[in-house]
């Protein structure tokens, strides 16, 4: 029927209204069949086909479903295929749908659905620019040469997509964006695969200057696409999203989706994705709609990336900062927020590998975190006081698991600080203050830990203990000038 209507209109130029009702009834009943068949029958959108497109795009009965189907087609490069009602698999070139949209945008009164779905159309036209720059299959190239002859288009497919994108922006009264991109050579930058994502970021900034609501709509659509699939257009999509994060309200589920997307890009091997993801994380830290756990998660993911990426020459400068992160990350492995706890464990493993601490790496890999404190303190007892200063703020954490972890750490640190009255006094005072904690379990743990430390201190610091500690330190330094017999002696003392 679609083929018949098209042929009849080709033969009868001024009688299109006679078949309008039949066409609309048919489209209302089977919109996908009509759209796909029309794209295949007249891929270059000849006069008769354009008449049919105007009829179905301007009717309230058919405009929205047809627009949604065209969006699906525009999002598939180089061809969109679907099964029609007769059981056949029909395919249509995506550029054919782009030609349809370009012609629709030339009419004096643009259909309302184009305005409603403007953000979606803009995104999919950017898709077209990118894909037609990267890849041009032979059959698509042949189709395009036919379009060039028919419409006298002295342009390539990607330039045609840019031309359509400009028409869309102008029809939506955003000529200022088009002119700004021209001045900054943004359209030319958009046509190069290596610089495409930079131009997309520029376009996002220019749109945000004229319409924050529009940016918000585009960003929400990109967020949906990036959350439900892994498109080949991920890098440009991320470039746009990063520039308009301030336009989004992330107080609901949007924050989780953003974090998931950024986490995926932080694990990518692409440096441009890393750069954009880090830029997004820094922006999100300043977003007032983000709550505390989200900020913690962002900070941990950011730190994990910094630890994973540095070149060999940068590692020495980072080593001190990375070492100081061990204890905070350990505490957050007990976080009530499962995402923060998981990210902390993953980052702690990265830090252990960065510092070449195989003992800590083994503990984290085997998920035996209760051994982590012992390994940390045993390696450098001289840093016990430094660790103590890091641990104290966690006694005031609103999370019960973090307060418990801090108390257990103080108990272990107290044993390493035997004989150091000032540090021990500080620990005991802190534990006494925790005795009346709002949580009975935390208060009980604090009292028990305090009793143990007091009992150990009363037992004194014997000569044997002192000798044993000296031997342990000597075993770690392993002087090269000493003989094998001494090494065996130390090894025996260590055991």
In this prediction, residues 215-226 reach a mean pLDDT of: 89
From start to end of 22-86, where are the E strands? 79-83
Rounded CA-CA distance 387/283 in Å is 31
In this prediction, residues 254-261 reach a mean pLDDT of: 78
Identify the CA nearest to 165 among candidates 134, 209, 121, 195. 121
* Residue 391 clears pLDDT 60, i.e. is over it: yes
Residues with Cβ within 8 Å of 18's Cβ and at least 6 positions away in sequence, in order, are 12
Q: Residue 178's Cα: distance from chain center in Å?
A: 29
| 113 and 185 within one domain | no
What is the span of the domain harbouring residue 203?
A: 178-290
In this prediction, residues 28-52 reach a mean pLDDT of: 93
Q: Residue 223's Cα: distance from chain center in Å?
A: 9
In this prediction, residues 348-371 reach a mean pLDDT of: 89
Rounded CA-CA distance 77/136 in Å is 10
Classify residue 415: in a domain, yes or no. Answer: no
* Residue 275 clears pLDDT 50, i.e. is over it: yes
In this prediction, residues 275-297 reach a mean pLDDT of: 74
Residue that finishes a domain, picked among 269, 290, 311: 290
Classify residue 447: in a domain, yes or no. Answer: no
Q: Is the distance from CB of 47 to CB of 37 less than 8 angstroms?
A: no
The per-residue pLDDT for 152 is 78
In this prediction, residues 484-489 reach a mean pLDDT of: 33
| 105 and 245 within one domain | no
Q: State both tokens at 389.
A: 């200063």
The secondary structure of 451-472 as a DSSP string is HHHHHHHHT---HHHHHHHHHH
Cα angle 247, 250, 251 (rounded to 5 degrees) comes to 135
Assign 80 to helix, strand or coil. strand
In this prediction, residues 169-181 reach a mean pLDDT of: 96
Classify residue 443: in a domain, yes or no. Answer: no
Q: Which residue has the tokens 């000569």?
A: 463
Distances (CA, A) of 414 to 19, 424, 451, 453: 90, 6, 12, 7
Q: Categorize the per-residue pLDDT at 162 as very low, low, confident or very high, splitting at 50, 70 and 90.
A: very high
In this prediction, residues 129-156 reach a mean pLDDT of: 86
Classify residue 398: in a domain, yes or no. Answer: no
Distances (CA, A) of 431 to 45, 329, 415, 459: 80, 22, 14, 20
| 275 and 200 within one domain | yes
Residue that finishes a domain, picked among 268, 290, 312: 290
- Of 118-127, 270-279, 448-457, which one has max mean pLDDT? 118-127
Render pLDDT for 95-126 as a digit per residue (tens, 0 to 9). 999 999 999 999 888 999 999 999 999 999 99
CA 151, 152, 156, 160 dihedral sign is negative
As a whole number, the mean pLDDT across the chain is: 84
| 236 and 96 within one domain | no
| 160 and 199 within one domain | no
| 183 and 165 within one domain | no
| 151 and 38 within one domain | yes
Classify residue 358: in a domain, yes or no. Answer: no
Q: Residue 102's Cα: distance from chain center in Å?
A: 33
Classify residue 142: in a domain, yes or no. Answer: yes
In this prediction, residues 427-432 reach a mean pLDDT of: 92
| 139 and 233 within one domain | no
The per-residue pLDDT for 465 is 56
In this prediction, residues 125-141 reach a mean pLDDT of: 90
Q: Which residue has the tokens 């143990």?
A: 452
- How many domains, the chain? 3
Q: Which residue has the tokens 């794209």?
A: 39
The secondary structure of 347-391 as a DSSP string is HHHHHHHHTT-HHHHHHHHTT-GGGHHHHHHHH-GGGHHHHHHHH
Strand partners, 93: 79
The per-residue pLDDT for 265 is 82
The per-residue pLDDT for 154 is 67
Q: What is the dihedral of CA 204, 205, 211, 214, to 10 degrees?
A: 20
The per-residue pLDDT for 483 is 37
Q: Is the distance from CB of 416 to CB of 377 less than 8 angstroms?
A: yes
Over pLDDT 90: what percentage of the chain? 48
Identify the CA nearest to 187 among candidates 172, 202, 205. 202
Residues with Cβ within 8 Å of 110's Cβ and at least 6 positions away in sequence, in order, are 104, 171
DSSP 251: S
Considering only residues 105 and 454, tell me which one the structure prediction assigns the higher pLDDT: 105
| 157 and 25 within one domain | yes
The per-residue pLDDT for 489 is 34
In this prediction, residues 118-136 reach a mean pLDDT of: 93
CA 158, 162, 167, 169 dihedral sign is positive
Render pLDDT for 54-64 as a digit per residue (tens, 0 to 9). 999 999 999 99
The per-residue pLDDT for 145 is 87
In this prediction, residues 145-158 reach a mean pLDDT of: 83
In this prediction, residues 286-291 reach a mean pLDDT of: 66
* Residue 250 clears pLDDT 80, i.e. is over it: no
* Residue 382 clears pLDDT 70, i.e. is over it: no
Q: State both tokens at 195.
A: 């610089």
| 155 and 17 within one domain | yes
Q: Which residue has the tokens 């042949």?
A: 142
Q: State both tokens at 211.
A: 């319409």
Considering only residues 245 and 440, tell me which one the structure prediction assigns the higher pLDDT: 440
Rounded CA-CA distance 113/341 in Å is 46
| 69 and 33 within one domain | yes
| 68 and 120 within one domain | yes
The per-residue pLDDT for 243 is 92
């Amino acid at each position: 029927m679609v083929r018949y209507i098209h042929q009849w209109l080709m033969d009868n130029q001024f009688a299109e209204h006679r078949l309008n009702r039949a066409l609309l009834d048919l489209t209302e009943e089977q919109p996908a069949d009509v759209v796909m068949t029309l794209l295949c029958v007249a891929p270059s959108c000849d006069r008769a086909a354009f008449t049919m497109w105007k009829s179905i795009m301007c009717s309230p009965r058919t405009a929205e479903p047809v627009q949604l189907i065209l969006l699906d087609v525009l999002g598939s490069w180089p061809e969109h295929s679907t099964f029609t009602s007769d059981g056949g698999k029909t395919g249509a070139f995506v550029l054919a749908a782009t030609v349809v949209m370009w012609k629709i945008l030339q009419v004096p009164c643009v259909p309302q659905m184009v305005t409603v779905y403007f953000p979606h159309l803009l995104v999919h036209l950017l898709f077209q620019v990118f894909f037609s720059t990267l890849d041009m299959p032979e059959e698509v190239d042949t189709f395009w040469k036919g379009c060039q002859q028919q419409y006298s288009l002295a342009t390539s497919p990607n330039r045609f997509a840019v031309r359509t994108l400009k028409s869309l922006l102008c029809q939506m009264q955003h000529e200022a964006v088009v002119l700004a991109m021209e001045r900054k050579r943004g359209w030319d930058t958009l046509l190069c695969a290596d610089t495409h994502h930079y131009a997309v970021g520029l376009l996002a900034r220019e749109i945000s200057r004229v319409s924050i609501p529009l940016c918000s709509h585009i960003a929400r659509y990109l967020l949906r696409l990036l959350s439900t699939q892994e498109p080949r257009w991920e890098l440009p999509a991320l470039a746009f999203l990063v520039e308009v994060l301030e336009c989004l309200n992330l107080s609901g589920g949007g924050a989780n989706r953003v974090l998931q997307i950024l986490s995926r890009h932080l694990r990518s091997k692409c440096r441009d994705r890393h750069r954009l993801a880090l830029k997004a994380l820094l922006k999100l830290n300043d977003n007032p709609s983000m709550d505390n756990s989200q900020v913690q998660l962002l900070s941990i993911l950011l730190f994990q990336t910094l630890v994973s990426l540095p070149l060999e020459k940068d590692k020495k400068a980072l080593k001190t900062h990375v070492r100081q992160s061990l204890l905070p990350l350990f505490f957050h492995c007990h976080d009530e927020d499962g995402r923060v706890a998981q990210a902390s464990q993953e980052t702690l493993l990265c830090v252990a590998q960065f510092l070449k601490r195989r003992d800590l790496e083994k503990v984290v890999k085997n998920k035996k975190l209760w051994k982590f404190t012992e390994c940390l303190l045993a390696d450098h007892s001289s840093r016990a006081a430094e660790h103590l200063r890091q641990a104290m703020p966690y006694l005031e954490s609103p999370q019960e698991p973090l307060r418990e972890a801090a108390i257990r750490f103080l108990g272990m640190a107290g044993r390493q600080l035997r004989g150091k009255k000032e540090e021990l006094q500080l620990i005991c005072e802190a534990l006494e203050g925790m005795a009346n904690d709002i949580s009975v379990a935390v208060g009980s743990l604090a009292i028990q830990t305090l009793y143990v430390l007091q009992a150990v201190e009363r037992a004194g610091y014997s000569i044997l203990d002192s000798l044993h500690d000296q031997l342990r330190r000597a075993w770690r330094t392993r002087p090269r000038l000493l003989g094998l017999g001494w090494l065996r002696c130390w090894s025996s003392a260590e055991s």
